[in-house]
Chains A and B, each alone.
Chain A
Amino acid sequence: MLRTRAGYAGGQKENPTYYDLGNHTEVISIDYDPAVLSYSDLLKIFWEAHRCDQLNRSRQYMNAVFYHNDVQKKLAEESRAAAAKAQGVQAEGVETSILPVGQFTYAEAYHQKYYLTRYPGIRGVLTRAYPGAKALADSAVATRLNAYLGSGMNRDWAHFVRELPEYGLPADLEKALSEAAHDLIAPTPRIDEKTRD
């Protein structure tokens, strides 16, 4: 994955905001390298993350695939049928929608890169480099840092350390992150090794 961003899509309101969505849905938009990751790979993750017969509370919070072209639409429909079969759901019981994306609107800046709100120093560096919701949201550096510093995900810390110099962070921040990552990469000594001396 290259970049991710939060936003609103699928509706008709011209200028949605969080407090005035119209009939848009809150969505995540993902830019990916098709040579590395396929749309079908992303669909697989999507279907495994929820049951396709899960009732949607509202249009705002809805499980849905918002396709960008006919190829994505076809793949989404085929994968939905496969997911329903795998989950034991009859066709009439499927709740997850497949809809055209329409116009995507970026969510407000405070919605972007949420996990970085716990690291104001890092977020401050990024917002100085990229003021405004769109620029911060479009940053692969911000996307990666948000993912690495977020919770509940497998992290390749060795890859993080190799890539860190390319993030363009201040030297002291890069050093601190590198040291923290190295602590996570290094194996924890066993108890008998620690007490041997």
Chain B
Amino acid sequence: MVALFVVLGDFGKGEVLPKADGKVSAVKLPLDARLAKAKYETATFGLG
């Protein structure tokens, strides 16, 4: 039982999530392919 809780507690930890790299990775769908070529800027906000 203790081992089960230890496993559950560790669920999700250790995952390495992707980082922003300036590249748009979604290009399969037509609109995505078109907009991936557009010049863009990025804004980031924390919304509380």
Contacts from A to B (Cβ < 8 Å) = 2-3, 7-10, 15-20, 25-35, 39, 42, 46, 49-50, 54, 56-57, 61-68, 72, 97, 101, 103-108, 129-130, 132-142, 144, 163, 166-168
- Residue in A20, A31, A142 whose beta carbon sits within 8 Å of that of B42 in the complex: A31
Instruction: Give the distance to chain A from B41, nearest Cβ to Cβ, in Å.
Output: 5
- Residue in B12, B17, B45 whose beta carbon sits within 8 Å of that of A15 in the complex: B17
CB within 8 Å for A31 and B40 given contacts A138-B25, A167-B31 = yes
CB-CB under 8 A from B35, the residues of chain A are 2-3, 140
CB-CB under 8 A from B32, the residues of chain A are 138-141
User: What are 7 sample pairs from A and B whose C-beta atoms fall under 8 A apart?
Assistant: A2-B40, A65-B44, A65-B45, A66-B45, A105-B18, A106-B20, A108-B15
Residues of B contacting A: mostly? loop
- Identity of the chain A residue whose Cβ is nearest the Cβ of B11 in the assembled complex: A19
The proximity string for B residues 1-36 relative to A, scoring 1 for CB distances below 8 Å and 0 otherwise, is: 000000000001101111110001110111110110
Extra pairs beyond A3-B24, A104-B20, A167-B29 (4, CB < 8 Å): A28-B47, A106-B18, A134-B25, A141-B26
